[in-house]
Structure 1
Amino acid sequence: MSAAPMTPDQVLAVVQSAVATVLELDPDSVGRETRFRADLQADSLALVEIVEIVEETLAPLARSGFHIDDEDLDALTTVGEAVDYAVSRL
């Protein structure tokens, strides 16, 4: 029996936590409209670290694992886009 899919709000909390951990921020300061590069000044290394945390957290919950493709990462400019991407793949 598989676990119930995560809601967008639950995935948002995962992404907020990952961003907060990597960039040493308050998770509540990170919203759906927050832009990774423009608002958070996240560089490529920080983005990779954020992705790794999100993948590790969500992989056990997905039917066949969870991975963010490198080519898709460039298109994810906001936290909300990342959340929507993740929800669509769970």
Structure 2
Amino acid sequence: MNLAKISANGQITVPVEIRRQLGLKSGDKILFLQKQNGEIVVSNASAAAIRKAQATFAGSADALGVSSEDDIQALVDEVRYGKGR
């Protein structure tokens, strides 16, 4: 169990063990999520954003027929320069 004290300004120091487990470093942001059962979960906001983006884009490469770095570069070139270049 880890305990943190709230300062008069509402600040907390995240215990080192928790920082390590969440992969947090100075300047990172943490996310507080309330589950349906009322439980509060603390998460690394950057990691949560990456997981959300991964879930959002899952299957997009297959749908676009992208299977290699060359395919990605072709899509970037198409967006930058238009078709036919």
TM-score tier, shorter chain, comes to under 0.3
TM-score, normalised via structure 2 length: 0.24
Q: Which structure has the bigger radius of gyration?
A: 2
Greater helix share, structure number: 1
TM-score, normalised via structure 1 length: 0.23
Query: Larger RCO: Structure 1 or Structure 2 (Cα < 8 Å, ≥ 6 residues apart)?
Result: 1
